[in-house]
Chains A and B, each alone.
Chain A
């Protein structure tokens, strides 16, 4: 009478312990995180842009400084990158476009040349739209394999910068010469990115899982560019500048 009941109890215990073991085994099985494909990046940056207009040889005075003062323009840039190599570092091509403007009051030219010019209520401005097609290389191998959160990189590219000078809200004409044009040039950039994933790896993984952004960087870079139609005479929109921004690789 008691034997079958004991047998049943023992059997139940065995089944339960088996279930418990299998549940324990399931709970402790490690979840593996696999990064989504990384093929491109978007960067946004800000920086001071002061064109080297005053170094044009034919100029008899420091035009930019006299009109706009010594301060730089605020340049906002957006850059798209497409990667074609990912191994020991990452290489790709990029295209960036930016915008900067500088305003000042025009001066009233007196009829008497001995009278000093006065400030007019009319504003004058210089606006630029720097664009660049580039190749780039990021040394991110150490960041991804050895937990070093710093990624140095370099870029080199062809520049084209449309510009226009206005007075009173419209493009300025002086003796039929239109104050607008475009300048070709070249430029080099070197920078250092700080990989934010290093500080919040879990958030970084979620960012990848949810929206496909693999890595996020804060970065600083220095740009050396000559934008003067490759040394020809005319408006010189070359610059040497620092920029700071944020980059998203996806």
Chain B
């Protein structure tokens, strides 16, 4: 078992090295998640630069770079794929967005760019290894996502009316959305103004400074990595109301307290003493032997 683990430990780094590391405009799918590059119709004439590094043991200048709409990379360039011309530096290539496989049809014709299409184009690498460079290997990939459609509208999952504020929760199913923008307007003919923005992973925000007993309309829209703003969600409504919590009850009942932190003594008590105790504990030394040991 230990030998197996040792073998795995030795082999694993070799596997990790045996990949072509492909970048588009210096980005990978991980660094610019979820795609190395995302463009819309405005980018049809763009000419992104593809760079790569060969793994150790690869034959020099053996790289073949191609673009495909297939879900995986292989060891040969397919009929509907687009092979990139490698630049004289042998470590880079360029592909015009309008030449991406998205715009190559199955019957060998071409589509004009832009199109109302959302499609991932993988930029794949192939390289050779072996004494006679006879072994063909599939390398890594980086994605250029052509996004010809606007982001779909997010859904407003929940609007909670609070005291002079509302809490808005919204979500989207699109993976490339990096921000959801929330706009608020007074229901009676007000103008929508953006009041909050959050990432889909955060999912919610509080909007304050509102007037109690006034109804507000709330709508949201997504912004993707292109970046482009999508359609608006359905409008939700909420009316902040004055609520009374413990502190309100206390003051209304004649409570004399007005808050306050308690001065410097309190800060020492609250922050310095725990530090002293902690330091005393970690500095505590124990003798190696027991009392009475000789």
Contacts and interface: CB of A to CB of B under 8 A. Distances in A.
Interface of A: 32, 34-37, 39-40, 53, 56, 58-61, 63-64, 66-68, 80, 82, 95, 97, 104, 106-109, 111, 117, 120-122, 124-126, 129, 131, 133, 160, 162, 165-170, 172, 174-175, 177-184, 209, 212, 233-235
B6 interface: no
Contacts of A58: 254-256
Interface string B259-294: 111100110011001100100110010110011110
Contacts of A165: 245-247, 250
A247 to B, nearest CB: 15
Interface stretch (B43-51, B158-166, B187-195): B158-166
29 contacts: A34-B290, A34-B293, A36-B286, A58-B254, A61-B253, A64-B246, A67-B249, A82-B280, A95-B273, A107-B244, A108-B243, A109-B242, A125-B246, A160-B266, A160-B269, A160-B270, A162-B261, A166-B245, A167-B163, A167-B243, A167-B245, A168-B163, A174-B248, A177-B247, A179-B259, A183-B262, A209-B290, A234-B256, A235-B257
Contacts, number: 160
B258 interface: yes
A39 B108 CA distance: 85
A126 B254 CA distance: 18
B247 A122 contact: no
Contacts of B281: 40, 80
A212 B286 contact: yes
Contacts of B257: 181, 233-235
A160 B246 CA distance: 21
A131 B269 contact: yes
Given A126-B246, A212-B286, A162 B160 contact: no
A128 B241 CA distance: 28
A67 B25 CA distance: 59
B286 A120 contact: no
A2 B135 CA distance: 88
Q: Which of B206, B247, B250, B273 neighbours the largest number of chain A CB atoms within 10 Å of its CB? A: B247
B243 A35 contact: no
Interface string B168-184: 00000000000000000
A124 B290 CA distance: 54
A23 to B, nearest CB: 23
Given A36-B287, A109-B244, A131-B269, 4 more contacts: A34-B290, A177-B251, A181-B260, A184-B265
B32 to A, nearest CB: 34
By Cβ-Cβ distance, the 9 closest A-B pairs, closest first, are A124-B245, A182-B262, A179-B247, A167-B245, A234-B257, A34-B292, A233-B256, A106-B243, A165-B247
B213 interface: yes
A53 B248 CA distance: 14
Contact of A181 (B163, B262, B286, B290): B262
B53 to A, nearest CB: 48
Nearest to B241: A108
Max chain A CB contacts within 10 Å: which of B242, B260, B277? B277
A144 to B, nearest CB: 14
A63 B246 contact: yes
Contacts of A35: 290-291
B245 A106 contact: yes
Contact of A60 (B254, B284, B286): B254
A138 to B, nearest CB: 19
A59 B266 CA distance: 26
A53 B213 CA distance: 32
A106 B76 CA distance: 66
Contacts of B250: 53, 59, 63, 165, 235
Given A167-B245, A168-B162, A181 B261 contact: yes
A107 B241 CA distance: 10
Interface string B223-247: 0000000000000000001111111
A184 B262 contact: yes
B258 A66 contact: no
B259 A36 contact: no
A117 B265 CA distance: 41
A49 to B, nearest CB: 15
A34 B254 CA distance: 62
B262 A122 contact: no
Contacts of A170: 206
B290 A97 contact: no
Given A36-B290, A126-B246, A180 B241 contact: no
A51 to B, nearest CB: 11
A168 B165 contact: yes
B269 A133 contact: yes
